[in-house]
């Protein structure tokens, strides 16, 4: 099968009340692992590359690997640029053969965000590629949110209506309480998603696919392995699966996972190094690490996103 856009995936996900997982890869063997995981449960897949990962892997390798992967499986796969910061990188990815790009101009004010997003949409749509944009700041743990205002730093529903209609985007990342990185919440802080805001947005743009970033769950067993074998990641709490499942049953059609993949992959690498000090065949270490990622991907899809069997 050739690489596809997310258009059809999102329509089915919206109507079916589930979400498609977007998994971030940092290297080529992680791409293979993610594809294997999604294929094992027959789920549609969005393979996401950040600008950094794209630079590290190289666009030619990334696109060729994904095209090869698509040949080996029947599941639909979209190749997506995550957090493109400039129109230039987004346009370049369209030209490389990506089927979906994200322009993240959320650091700019509303009007500038619209202007930059529109530029990417025009270019991408002419070439059959879909565009995701972001509105509202998706917090890191260091960001303090003003709780006095009902919407605070979260995405305002009225802004969504105007943003979507003026830019012509295909999907939108919203801020309702998820956070990027491994340390999503301070100790003692309860993870919370603002379903009231999500519901308001959904009512204002019915049928329009929304995206959740910063939605890793930080699997505690994998975090423990990482730290048991010499890692030093502080105790972190992710977004509980039930909350993501609820969001997936609503207008959220794409859920991003990055941190969980790194924790699984490098935790397993650490363990393999520790347990096999006499070995130096890369396959000894990389095989089990790929397997750990593939299993986690399959589990997230089945337990949380609900996209298993929807390929
Ligand atoms: Zn993100």
Per-residue pLDDT, 140:
55
Q: What is the maximum alpha-carbon separation in the chain?
A: 61
Residue ranges of E strands in 222-283: 252-257
> Does 11 map to a domain?
yes
- Residue segments in the chain with a per-residue pLDDT below the cut of 50: 141-148
CA of 257 to the centre of ligand 1 (A): 9
pTM above 0.85, yes or no: yes
> Does 310 map to a domain?
no
Burial label, 241 (beta-carbon count in 10 A; 0-12, 13-18, 19+): middle
Cα(27)–Cα(213) distance, integer angstroms? 20
Query: Choosing from 15, 26, 39, 82, which is the catalytic residue?
Result: 82
Per-residue pLDDT, 30:
96
The SS3 call for residue 282 is helix
CA of 284 to the centre of ligand 1 (A): 32
Per-residue pLDDT, 154:
86
The SS3 call for residue 64 is helix
Among 93, 69, 74, smallest CA distance to 83 is for: 93
> pLDDT tens digits for 130-186?
999 999 766 554 444 444 466 777 899 999 999 999 999 999 999 998 877 766 666
> Does 2 map to a domain?
no
Per-residue pLDDT, 105:
95
- Say which CATH number the domain at 60 has: 3.20.20.70
Per-residue pLDDT, 1:
78
Task: Give, in order, the Cα–Cα distances in Å from 276 to each of 30, 63, 222.
Answer: 21, 34, 19
> Does 55 map to a domain?
yes
CA of 33 to the centre of ligand 1 (A): 21
> Does 192 map to a domain?
yes
> Does 203 map to a domain?
yes
Per-residue pLDDT, 236:
74
Torsion angle in degrees (nearest 10) through CA of 68, 91, 170, 16: 10
Q: Does the active-site annotation cover 82?
A: yes
Question: In terms of residue numbers, what domain contains 211?
Answer: 7-305
> Does 221 map to a domain?
yes
Per-residue pLDDT, 209:
98
CA of 85 to the centre of ligand 1 (A): 11
CB of 176 within 8 A of CB of 200?
no
> Does 49 map to a domain?
yes
Q: Which two tokens stand for residue 255?
A: 């859920």
For the chain, what is the domain count? 1
């Amino acid at each position: 099968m050739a690489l596809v856009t997310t258009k059809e995936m999102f329509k089915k996900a919206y109507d079916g009340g589930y979400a498609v997982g977007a998994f971030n890869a940092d290297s080529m063997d992680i791409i293979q692992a993610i594809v294997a995981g999604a294929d094992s449960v027959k789920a549609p897949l969005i393979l996401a590359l950040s600008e950094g990962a794209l630079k590290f892997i190289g666009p030619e390798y990334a696109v060729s690997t994904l095209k090869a992967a698509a040949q080996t499986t029947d599941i639909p796969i979209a190749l997506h640029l995550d957090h493109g910061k400039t129109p230039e990188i987004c346009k370049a990815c369209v030209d490389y053969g990506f089927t979906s790009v994200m322009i993240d101009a959320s650091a700019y004010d509303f009007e500038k965000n619209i202007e930059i997003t529109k530029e990417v949409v025009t270019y991408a749509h002419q070439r059959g590629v879909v565009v995701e944009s972001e509105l509202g700041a998706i917090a890191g743990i260091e960001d303090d949110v003003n709780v006095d205002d009902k919407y605070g730093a979260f995405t305002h529903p009225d802004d969504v209506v105007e943003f979507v209609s003026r830019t012509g985007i295909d999907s939108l990342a919203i801020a309702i309480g998820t956070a990027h990185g491994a340390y999503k919440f301070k100790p003692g802080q309860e993870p919370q998603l603002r379903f009231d805001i999500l519901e308001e947005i959904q009512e204002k743009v019915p049928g329009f696919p929304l995206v959740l970033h910063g939605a890793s769950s930080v699997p505690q067993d994998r975090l423990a392995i990482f730290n048991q074998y010499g890692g030093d990641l502080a105790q972190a709490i992710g977004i509980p699966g039930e909350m993501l499942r609820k969001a997936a049953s609503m207008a959220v059609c794409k859920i991003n996972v990055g941190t969980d993949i790194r924790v699984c992959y490098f935790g397993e690498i650490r363990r393999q190094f520790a347990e096999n000090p006499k070995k130096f065949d890369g396959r000894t270490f990389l095989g089990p690490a790929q397997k750990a990622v593939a299993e986690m991907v399959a589990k997230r899809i089945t337990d949380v996103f609900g996209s298993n069997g929807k390929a």
